[in-house]
């Protein structure tokens, strides 16, 4: 089998990876030279939630939730230092929506058992049925980047993780900052002065939470992982390498 034949499943070399020295930097991560797009959160005139002072098209998602405008990346080579623990919200939401790899721009790996996810054991893994029904803010991965994460990511190494095939990932809701209107505060006041305060950050709310969602500034999208099959990452990689493909 040619290398071209396997490229679709385990990646076409390192051409589309972001590097910092010898480290692969996930697309999901922010960089020190990222600039904020600027946003001022205000109480809506009708009193029924929050908005941006200069809100326009694209500031809400399909469900009408206000979304964080995120960050503007500096040009390649001028991005500064990667902030591995800080998330680029816009990329996270896009990766969840389109089931893209959280590390490179490729689609996440998928086979007959579902989409590939790496889930750390820190959250809920004492539940007998775990990871079935696990709710996550981490996008899935492609096979190549799953192996890279296994080798490189200190957070995964310290907490331990499982590789999971997910047959039915279902959009769950949002993770973001929950605002509250201060009693008697005027409408359309600027965040931090009067009228609004952040109650919890982050808070997680489901898509049907009509009470909370109007007051949340969405950062990340969350997903419920249904139809889970725990797999061995090394076996997955070998399986993909040896599988016949249409290009073979």
104 touches Zn ion by CB under 5 A: yes
96 touches Zn ion by CB under 5 A: no
Centre a 10 Å sphere on the Cβ of residue 82 and count the other Cβ atoms it contains. 19
Comparison of 99 and 177: residue with beta carbon closer to Zn ion: 99
**The one among 145, 217, 221, 228 contacting Zn ion by CB under 5 A:** 145
- Least Å distance between CB 79 and Zn ion? 19
Comparison of 18 and 145: residue with beta carbon closer to Zn ion: 145
Comparison of 118 and 142: residue with beta carbon closer to Zn ion: 142
User: Using CB under 5 A as the criterion, what x/- string covers residues 48-87 for binding Zn ion?
Assistant: ----------------------------------------
- Least Å distance between CB 107 and Zn ion? 9
Comparison of 142 and 178: residue with beta carbon closer to Zn ion: 142
Comparison of 89 and 106: residue with beta carbon closer to Zn ion: 106
Q: Are 201 and 153 in contact (CB under 8 A)?
A: no
101 touches Zn ion by CB under 5 A: yes
Count the residues of the shown chain that bind Zn ion, applying the rule CB under 5 A: 6
| The Cα angle at residue 66 between residues 63 and 67, in degrees rounded to 5 | 100
Mapped onto helix, strand or coil, the DSSP state of residue 161 is strand
The strand pairing partners of 248, in sequence order, are none
- Least Å distance between CB 141 and Zn ion? 6
Q: Are 246 and 199 in contact (CB under 8 A)?
A: no
118 touches Zn ion by CB under 5 A: no
**The one among 10, 28, 142, 228 contacting Zn ion by CB under 5 A:** 142
Biggest CA-to-CA distance, the chain: 71
Distance of CA 198 to the CA centre of its chain: 22
100 touches Zn ion by CB under 5 A: no
- Least Å distance between CB 105 and Zn ion? 8
103 touches Zn ion by CB under 5 A: yes
Q: Are 199 and 178 in contact (CB under 8 A)?
A: yes
Residue ranges in the chain assigned as alpha helix (H)? 3-10, 89-98, 143-152, 154-159, 233-242
Q: Are 140 and 159 in contact (CB under 8 A)?
A: no
- Least Å distance between CB 26 and Zn ion? 9
- Least Å distance between CB 11 and Zn ion? 6
10 touches Zn ion by CB under 5 A: no
Q: Are 232 and 147 in contact (CB under 8 A)?
A: no
Cα distance between residue 46 and residue 209, in whole Å:
19
Cα distance between residue 172 and residue 156, in whole Å:
23
Mapped onto helix, strand or coil, the DSSP state of residue 114 is strand
Query: Which residues of this chain interact with Zn ion, rule CB under 5 A?
Result: 101, 103-104, 106, 142, 145
């Amino acid at each position: 089998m040619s290398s071209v034949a396997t490229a679709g499943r385990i990646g076409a070399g390192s051409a589309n990876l972001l590097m910092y020295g010898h480290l692969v930097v996930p697309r999901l991560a922010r960089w020190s030279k990222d600039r904020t797009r600027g946003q001022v959160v205000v109480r809506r005139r009708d009193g029924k939630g929050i908005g941006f002072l200069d809100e326009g098209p694209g500031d809400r998602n399909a469900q009408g939730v206000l979304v964080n405008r995120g960050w503007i990346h500096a040009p390649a080579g001028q991005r500064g230092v990667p902030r591995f623990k800080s998330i680029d919200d816009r990329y996270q939401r896009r990766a969840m929506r389109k089931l893209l790899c959280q590390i490179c721009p490729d689609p996440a790996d998928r086979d007959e058992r579902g989409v590939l996810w790496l889930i750390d054991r820190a959250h809920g893994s004492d539940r007998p049925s775990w990871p079935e029904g696990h709710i996550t803010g981490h996008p899935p991965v492609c096979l190549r980047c799953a192996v890279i994460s296994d080798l490189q990511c200190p957070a995964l190494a310290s907490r331990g993780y499982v590789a999971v095939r997910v047959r039915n990932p279902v959009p769950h809701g949002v993770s973001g900052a929950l605002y509250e209107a201060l009693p008697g505060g005027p409408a359309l006041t600027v965040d931090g002065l009067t009228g609004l305060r952040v109650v919890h950050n982050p808070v997680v709310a489901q898509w049907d939470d009509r009470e909370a969602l109007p007051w949340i500034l969405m950062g990340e999208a969350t997903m419920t992982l249904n139809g889970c099959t725990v797999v061995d990452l090394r076996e997955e990689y070998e399986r993909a390498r040896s599988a016949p493909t249409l290009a073979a």
